[in-house]
Structure 1
């Protein structure tokens, strides 16, 4: 039996600084706009030097990319945990919901961050780049669940694309709903954001479920 190596004090300190920088950056960028906020301002808000910032991140973009990487990891992990006999549409819906659930749990800042990503060309490009990586990971996981050949079958890649299109649609609708100061008309109360995202996710997957659950193997080339 093997055990994971214990985290050293230096590693814990490094992670703490990275977390402080990430939180400060996302708060400032979400409120002030990507172009207006400087690295100096982020470093000052986190209580570190500009030089320290660049030890952890190459640019402001990289802070947001790290945030996006966590979303993709959560989606893949949830899909891998779903029951093996669950319909693809249900498993993928839960995977996407797991990914956006954390956002809804921190609604005010998360809406602003998502809106920032979708409205800033440089960040949107990185977001789409990340989604391409997630598609390959989800396709591989789907292929393994269904006993398909990810390199030959069309279904895993197309299904992953559909799930990510639903994910993108949910984020767009959810983030736009709060732009005018309203809660989007769904849920309400302290957990209204979570309720709203759940409803949006359900509705999106209701549209694509028939295609997701029609698992058809690619005919062999003649």
Structure 2
């Protein structure tokens, strides 16, 4: 096998893995939305996409992890988006641009994300897992903000606070987006949330 053929085969396998992961996520969300969390097993999810339970565990350690669906690369991707913003752009604006790019990514998978938000609303016991899954992301973004602003983590508190505010603005936009059934565009709601923060959160 030539190097080109080998690279193609590797790319094909990677695409297949991503497709399988996405199919398991979608099956988990659909079944839990229909039956509730307690009414769905790992075997149910695997069977829905014609796979074995053993194969399911190659992708997710539990059904709850399939529902969260967080990619291990998400923290790195957000950090890279932030670092790609020119250094002269102020931190809050850079965080807005990072968040807007993420919103556009979510919008491209609108139905999947609306279903995920519905499942989490119906099953509050999943919320701690969702919060835990965001910890790695928040730490990675805080570190990038610290480098950008020239301060050390754990000293001024600025990187941690700026990141927490940005994440809260994004979550608030997601809640509005879900409540409005995906309209208007999530990126526009993110812009609105950041505009309110930049204005000092004046009374409505």
In the alignment, the residues of structure 1 paired with residue 55 and residue 71 of structure 2 have an alpha-carbon distance, to the nearest angstrom, of 22
Report the TM-score, using the length of structure 2 for normalisation: 0.80
Map Cα deviations across residues 94-123 of structure 1 (whole Å, 9 max, x no partner): 111222222211222221112323442232
Larger proportion of helix: 2
Q: Partner of 2:192 in structure 1? A: 203
- Corresponding residue SS for 1:35: helix
1:94 aligns with 2:97: yes
Runs of 5+ consecutive residues of structure 2 not aligned to the other structure: 1-5
In the alignment, the residues of structure 1 paired with residue 35 and residue 125 of structure 2 have an alpha-carbon distance, to the nearest angstrom, of 16
In the alignment, the residues of structure 2 paired with residue 171 and residue 68 of structure 1 have an alpha-carbon distance, to the nearest angstrom, of 18
> Bigger shift: 31-40 or 100-109?
31-40
Q: Do the aligned partners of 1:31 and 1:112 also contact (CA within 8 Å) in 2?
A: no
Report the TM-score, using the length of structure 1 for normalisation: 0.74
Query: Which portions of structure 1, spanning 4 or more consecutive aligned residues, are displaced by more than 6 angstroms?
Result: none
**Cα distance change on mapping 1:35 and 1:175 into 2, 3 Å:** farther
Runs of 5+ consecutive residues of structure 1 not aligned to the other structure: 187-195, 212-222
Q: Do the aligned partners of 1:115 and 1:176 also contact (CA within 8 Å) in 2?
A: no
> Bigger shift: 39-48 or 60-69?
60-69
Q: Partner of 1:160 in structure 2? A: 163
1:18 aligns with 2:21: yes
**Cα distance change on mapping 1:147 and 1:118 into 2, 3 Å:** farther
- Taking the TM superposition and a 5 Å limit, the aligned residue runs for 1:15-164 are 15-67=18-70, 69=72, 71-164=74-167
